[in-house]
Structure 1
Amino acid sequence: MEENLRWYKEKKLDRLCEVLLDKGYLIHRVFSVKDAQEKILSLLNREQTVALGDSWKLMNDEFISKLKEFKFYNRFGEDSEKVKRESLLAEMAIIEGELITEDGQILIVGDYNTSSALFGAENIIVLISENKIVKDLNSGFEKISEHEKYYRMRAEKLQNKNDGLSIGIIENGRKFSKRISLVITTEDTGL
């Protein structure tokens, strides 16, 4: 049964990747979250500054420790608000997409990562997984509404100072050629 499920997920990702390539994204497919972390690290440049957005799957001690080998804006220490502001000037931002539509629009919910993805970094690396594919934007907004308590709890735990939910949408990768890399995993990355 597990083999059939993996085949189904892979086919679903095949269809999505065709759309994403047409929209100008750089695509990197991996199987597991661990593989995704390794791929993300391989895409970084030691000469460029790096910021990490809101992502449960990437905020573990091992990954953060590896990021510290780069010019990393570490917002997990003292004066995190100051570091967050400074990190908006990072050359590379790593974020996790909350959802992705079948036509390739990426929805991002958060404080820091929304700003970073839409306005800040020269290059963006987005982690996304097969389980986050939704039909369209309306389906995405409905799913975000269903999980609003989760997003608010995450914002509180990450000490994001924001009264409401910030939702960003990345329409496509064409506007800035080779700016947005998607690391897509078959393994679920949460909600």
Structure 2
Amino acid sequence: MDFNTSWYFDKKIERTKKALEKNNYEVYVVNNVDEMKEKVLELIQDKSTVSFGGSMTLVNSGILDELRKKDIKLLDRYKEGLTGDEIANLYRETFFADYYITSSNAVTENGELVNLDGNGNRVAAMIFGPKKVIVIVGQNKLVKDLEEAYDRVRNYASPINAKRLNRRTPCCETGYCLDCNSNDRICNHYVVTYRQNVKGRGIVIIVKDELGY
């Protein structure tokens, strides 16, 4: 990324950070994935209970592997050999976790988190339950406003995730949302978080890199 492009994203990050802080979030800006992992491990106390949402940002960054080495109780939904019932129980245990780590489908320059879920367990935990929620977002997910966020979530992130999950939905054929009624639809719960009501509960880490969808 050249100097001018970096300048453009720095300005967008600056506006977003200021708005998030106004909305009661604790915000950290890091330069790369390695710095992000250091910050997450620094924030999470030993012996605590930690859960996380389904997210390619978490999977591809390697933060989950680092968490598995840490002295914590990790509610690991990707642990080999888990049954469907065991995974569902982990989703429920998440509400009592000390920390919940996830990403956001989009973050506006007004400090709003915008997410679209299939089952709703991710957005539910972001809203209520875990004592602290750590949201990791690459600069590619920062958008101007709710209109741009909606377009990004419906016509970019959702079709890509549906394709990744091998869903039989129209968007996997067209590459954009047709607001279908398919049984395989993953766009079931659209949530806009305008503000974190408990100051300090929400922590946003913005990475100056492209992460996730």
Q: Tell me, yes or no, whether TM beats 0.5.
A: yes
2:154 to 145, 152, 158: 145
Return the alpha-carbon distance in structure 2 between the equivalents of residues 24 and 47 of structure 1: 26
**How far apart, in 1, do the equivalents of 2:75 and 2:98 lie?**
11
Is the contact made by 1:118 and 1:168 (CA closer than 8 Å) also made in structure 2?
A: no
* 2:144 aligned residue: 135
Paired-residue identity, % = 24
- 1:91 and 2:98 matched: yes
- Once structures 1 and 2 are overlaid, which stretch shifts more, 175-184 or 111-120? 111-120
- 2:39 is aligned to 39
CA contact (8 A) 1:92 1:123 kept: yes
Question: What count of residue pairs does the alignment treat as equivalent?
Answer: 187
Aligned to 2:54: 54
TM-score (norm 1): 0.86
**Within-5 A mapping of 1:101-112:** 101-110=108-117, 111=119, 112=121
Structure 2, unaligned runs of 5 or more: 168-182
Per-residue CA deviation, residues 131-166 of structure 1 (Å, 9 max, x unaligned), is 212222122112222123223345569xxx985422
Q: From the CA coordinates, give the structure whose radius of gyration is larger.
A: 2
Q: Does 1:184 align with 2:193?
A: no
Question: In the alignment, is the contact (CA less than 8 A) between 2:33 and 2:61 conserved in 1?
Answer: no
Cα separation, 2, equivalents of 1:61 and 1:130: 14
Contact 1:109 1:167 (C-alpha < 8 Å) held by counterparts:
yes
Cα RMSD, aligned residues only: 2.3
Farther off after superposition, 161-170 or 178-187: 161-170
Are the equivalent residues in 2 in contact too, given 1:96–1:108 (CA < 8 A)?
A: no
Unaligned runs of 5+ in 1: none
> C-alpha separation between the residues in 2 aligned to 1:30 and 1:93?
19
Runs of 4+ in 1 over 3 A off after TM superposition: 153-157, 161-164
1:13 maps to 13
